[in-house]
Amino acid sequence: MSKRNSQSAKMAARERLREERERQAKKAKIRRQLVVAASVVGVLAAAGGIGYAVVQANKPDHWEAAKDAELVKPANTSGKDGTTVVIGKADAKKTLELYEDPRCPICASFEQSVGKTIEKDVEDGKYKVQFIGASFLDRNLTGEGSKNALSALGAALDVSPEAFLAYKSALYSAEFHPEETDDKFKDDAYLIKVADSVDALKNNKEFQAAVKDGTYDRWALEMSDKFDGSDVQGTPTVKMDGKKLTGSDGENAPMTVDEFTAAVDKALKG
């Protein structure tokens, strides 16, 4: 090979090397641009995700929002917020006050033992009964079953006092009442399932819609506030003329029919 040809070959090789370096540089630049763009998108997406999470976290939960919802009072109630629930004959001279929390297992035992006696006494005109519902177990155990059951009871009361009594009895029954720590009443479908055991509520579309829509959620909160504002510390609590009725232990609600009847008869004479 001549010296001239050798020099030309070297120049051509250097040119090819230069062109290859330029191509690699362009590729590297494009890769850097793509990485930066992807990083920006990732940051924006993360920021958007964080922003969404913050918004969601700061949104009031259902029951917080229910505090500001329109108050719908069930039929068959009275008082400023519709939280006076008195059932019985108008000429019954005295009123039995009954304080209960739907999730309370002792309330369930009380209702299973004494509930039918109370219903019969009210039907016979022995006394009227006033119900005050609580939801403190939702706070103590966490959950929303007590509030949700109170709301459903409001829907039953809107149907009729008789439907309310029958539904309350079903909720506290051995068949349907859950363990205290099982927040089963938070489930609307379960509350409707229990209601299907009550003739007046079975397949009752208006009742079911009220439960699903939370029509009486605000009312349930007002009822719970009424309990919280009372001097009652636990459930079940039974009063007549403002005085607590107790069983043989002198402290707790009478848990048998005999003890309950004895305490009520004594109060009616007072």
At residue 13 the predicted structure's pLDDT band, cuts being 50, 70 and 90, is: very low
Mean pLDDT of the chain: 86
From the list 93, 98, 91, 146, the residue with the least C-alpha distance to 118 is: 98
Whether the Cβ atoms of residue 140 and residue 233 lie closer than 8 Å to each other: no
Q: Cβ(177)–Cβ(116) under 8 Å? A: no
Return d(Cα 114, Cα 255) in angstroms, integer.
7
Please tell me the predicted confidence (pLDDT) of residue 6: 47
The structure tokens listed for 133 are: 């519902």
Q: Side chain identity at 242, as an amino acid letter?
A: G
* pLDDT band (50, 70, 90) for residue 270: confident
pLDDT in tens, 180-214: 899 999 999 999 999 999 999 999 999 999 999 99
The answer, yes or no, to whether residue 23 has pLDDT greater than 90, is no
Residue 46 confidence (pLDDT) above 70:
no
Question: Could you tell me the pTM of the whole model?
Answer: 0.78
Q: Is 184 exposed, middle or buried (0-12, 13-18, 19+ CB in 10 A)?
A: middle
CA 113 to chain centre: 27
Contacting residues for 24 by C-beta, under 8 A, at least 6 apart: none
Model pLDDT for residues 63-107, shown as the tens digit of each residue: 999 999 999 999 999 998 999 999 999 999 999 999 999 999 999
Question: By the 8 A CB rule, do 104 and 253 touch?
Answer: no
Instruction: Check residue 61 and give its pLDDT.
Output: 84
Q: Are strands 128-133 and 95-100 parallel, antiparallel or unpaired?
A: parallel
Q: Which pLDDT score is estimated for 148?
A: 98
Please tell me the predicted confidence (pLDDT) of residue 31: 59
Dmax over Cα atoms in the chain, in whole Å? 136
φ/ψ (deg, to 5) at 245: -95, 135
Question: Which of 49-53, 182-186, 260-264 bottoms out in mean pLDDT, i.e. has the lowest?
Answer: 49-53
Q: State the pLDDT at residue 116.
A: 97
Q: What is the pLDDT of residues 25-35, one digit of tens each?
A: 555 555 565 55
Measured at the CA of 140, the angle between CA 187 and CA 226, to 5 degrees, comes to: 85
Tell me: the pLDDT tens digits for 161-171?
999 999 999 99
Q: What percent of the chain has pLDDT over 90?
A: 76
Give the pLDDT of residue 16: 55
Question: By C-alpha distance, which of 96, 98, 87 is closest to 266?
Answer: 96
More confident residue, 52 or 181: 181
Segment 117-129 shows an average pLDDT of 97
Among the listed residues 268, 269, 164, the one whose alpha carbon sits nearest the alpha carbon of residue 216:
164
Give dist(CA 219, CA 211) in Å, integer: 12
